[in-house]
Amino acid sequence: MRMELACKVPIGMVEALFEAGLSHRDVLATARLPLGLLDRPGPRLCVSDYFAFWQAIAAVSGNPGIGIVLGRSFKSDLTEPLFLAILSAVDVGAAIHVVARYKQTLEPQDLHVTADGAGRITLTCEWPQAETVPQVLVDAEFSFLVEMCRRGTRQPEFSPVELQLQAKKLDAAAAHAAVFRCPIRLGAVANAIVFTSDDMTRPFVTHNPQLHGALIPFLNTHTPPATSALARVRAVLSDRVRGQRPTVRAVGKELAMSGRALQRLLKDHGTSFRQLLDDVRNEHARGYLSTTAFSDGEVAFLLGFEEANSFYRAFRSWNGVSPREYRRRTVTAR
- pLDDT digits 0-9 by tens, 87-136: 878 899 999 998 998 988 888 999 999 998 889 999 999 998 878 899 99
> What pLDDT, on the 0 to 100 scale, is given for residue 254?
86
Number of structural domains the chain divides into: 2
* Whether 65 contacts 72, CB under 8 Å: no
CB neighbours (10 Å) of residue 145? 21
3-state secondary structure of 49: helix
* Whether 323 contacts 288, CB under 8 Å: no
Verify that 262 and 313 share a domain, yes or no: yes
* Whether 209 contacts 203, CB under 8 Å: no
Could you say which of 201, 236, 267 is where a domain stops? 201
Q: Which of 278, 279, 273, 298 is nearest to 288 (CA)?
A: 298
**Torsion angles phi and psi, residue 20, rounded to 5:** -90, 5
Verify that 54 and 159 share a domain, yes or no: yes
* Residue 100 domain-assigned (yes or no): yes
Q: The domain that contains 116 carries what CATH number?
A: 3.90.1520
Verify that 89 and 121 share a domain, yes or no: yes
Could you say which of 176, 201, 226 is where a domain stops? 201
> What pLDDT, on the 0 to 100 scale, is given for residue 231?
85
Could you give the CA distance from residue 112 to residue 27 in angstroms, rounded to a whole number? 30
Verify that 274 and 192 share a domain, yes or no: no
Q: The domain that contains 267 carries what CATH number?
A: 1.10.10.60
Verify that 8 and 128 share a domain, yes or no: yes
> What pLDDT, on the 0 to 100 scale, is given for residue 216?
47
Beta bridge partners of 193: 123, 163
Could you give the CA distance from residue 156 to residue 205 in angstroms, rounded to a whole number? 13
Angle at 105 between CA 293 and CA 313, to 5 degrees: 75
* Residue 207 domain-assigned (yes or no): no
* Residue 150 domain-assigned (yes or no): yes
Verify that 130 and 225 share a domain, yes or no: no
β-pairing, 191-196 with 162-164? antiparallel
Verify that 120 and 265 share a domain, yes or no: no
Q: Measured between alpha carbons, how far is residue 240 from residues 78, 93, 98, 208, 279 in Å?
A: 16, 14, 11, 10, 14
* Residue 140 domain-assigned (yes or no): yes
Could you say which of 168, 201, 234 is where a domain stops? 201
Q: Which residues of the chain have pLDDT under 70?
A: 1-4, 77-79, 207-227, 333-334
Angle at 115 between CA 109 and CA 118, to 5 degrees: 150
Verify that 123 and 245 share a domain, yes or no: no
Q: Look over the chain and give the mean of its residue pLDDT values, rounded to a whole number.
A: 88
Amino acid, res. 140: A
Q: Per-residue b/e over 273-285, b at no fewer than 16 CB within 10 Å?
A: beebbeebbbbbb
Strand blocks (E) in 165-269:
184-185, 191-196
> What pLDDT, on the 0 to 100 scale, is given for residue 334?
60
Verify that 15 and 53 share a domain, yes or no: yes
Verify that 46 and 167 share a domain, yes or no: yes
Verify that 243 and 268 share a domain, yes or no: yes
To the nearest 5 percent, what fractions of the chain are helix, strand and coil?
55, 10, 35
Give the structural domain span for 124: 2-201
Verify that 64 and 175 share a domain, yes or no: yes
pTM surpassing 0.85? no
Beta bridge partners of 203: 91
* Whether 288 contacts 294, CB under 8 Å: yes
> What pLDDT, on the 0 to 100 scale, is given for residue 77?
66
